[in-house]
Amino acid sequence: MSKNIIIVLLFFLFQGCRSHKKEIVVSDNLKAELEYKIPAQLGEGAFWNYKTQELYWIDIESETFNIYNPTTKNNKVYNTKSKIGSVVAINDIEALIASEDGVYRLNLNSGERTLFSDLKKELVGSRLNDGKCDPFGRFWVGSMHFKQEQGKANLYMINAEGKSVKKKQNVTISNGIVWTSDKKTMYYIDTPTSEIKAYDYNNKTGEISNERVVVTIPLKLGFPDGMTIDEENMLWVGMWNGNAVIRFNPDTGEVLQTIEVPAHNVTSCAFGGKNLDVLYITTASVDMTDEEQKQYPLAGSVFKVVTGVKGVKSSFFKTNN
């Protein structure tokens, strides 16, 4: 997300009538509480490392990758030297980070970065944004144009050798992406469309097909950003301009639960904790009016809530070495 996003979003939102609209029903609201106080500019990319029991998250504008330990309350910071869009774990000592010009391997002990997938030619005027690993261990990461120009972004799949395959074109702000427990469906968000789309997914090949809209989100709820999935295959989405994380049922399009967050721009979320029953939430402190800044002084911080449902283990990236 960035300061010109509202113009782009409104362009999409007021384009004619949409198909596949679903009835929205709100129930069972909860409130998130402060977990780690920090004025991050554009906190994003929540990823729970279930092996180390740590939360990976990023601040895009500050060009930092963070590893937060909820037990010790320690937040280790790595300077990434460029805007970082997302991060996933490889193993105990390495992470994969999506940067402005490609995907890098980061050594967590030394802080050294090594280019893994060069996307310079693909990312002219753009940068990489949100991304996750599929159940097979491939890294799916989307891009966004620096000026959020319509249709100037793509969605890529990075394999174990670092080869990139373009999976979707004509995207504007590529964001949340998750897979169901049976490995047969992928859900994906291009933020300005205010839709969550589903695809038939082949875990062996990484092929996607049969695109359809499963949730259409009203303007009053905000704009969909980062996304995670729970063990019931329901979708949890951070809402930019929405002060909340919302749980959607992709089978009916209904809102099942709303988590109120004391920040105006909610960006991503991930289930964590030993039992994967704590939802960790990242937020941003940018793009707020003076009134909103006074109303949400904790914006940019990391929040948490016990939702009553459990998440699933995040997939790590699988390499050949």
Q: Provide φ and ψ at 126, rounded to 5°.
A: -135, 175
Tokens of 129: 């944004």
44 annotated as belonging to a binding site for a ligand: yes
If one counts every other C-beta atom within 10 angstroms of the C-beta of residue 249, the result is 18
> Scanning the structure block, which residue is given the tokens 């991304």?
131
- Annotated active-site residue 182? The verdict is no
One-letter amino acid at 261 equals V
3-state secondary structure at position 292: helix
Residues whose CB is less than 8 angstroms from the CB of residue 290 and which lie 6 or more positions away in sequence, other chains included: none
Residues whose CB is less than 8 angstroms from the CB of residue 89 and which lie 6 or more positions away in sequence, other chains included: 47, 49, 51, 56, 95, 96, 314, 316, 317
One-letter amino acid at 170 equals N
| Cα–Cα dist 315/47, whole Å | 10
Which of 133, 134, 130, 139 lies closest to 158 in space, CA to CA?
A: 139
175 annotated as belonging to a binding site for a ligand: yes
Does residue 226 contact residue 45 with C-beta atoms inside 8 Å?
A: yes
Q: Catalytic residue among 59, 130, 190, 225, which?
A: 225
| Cα–Cα dist 308/81, whole Å | 39
Q: Give the annotated binding-site residues for substrate.
A: 127, 129
Which residues carry out catalysis?
Answer: 225
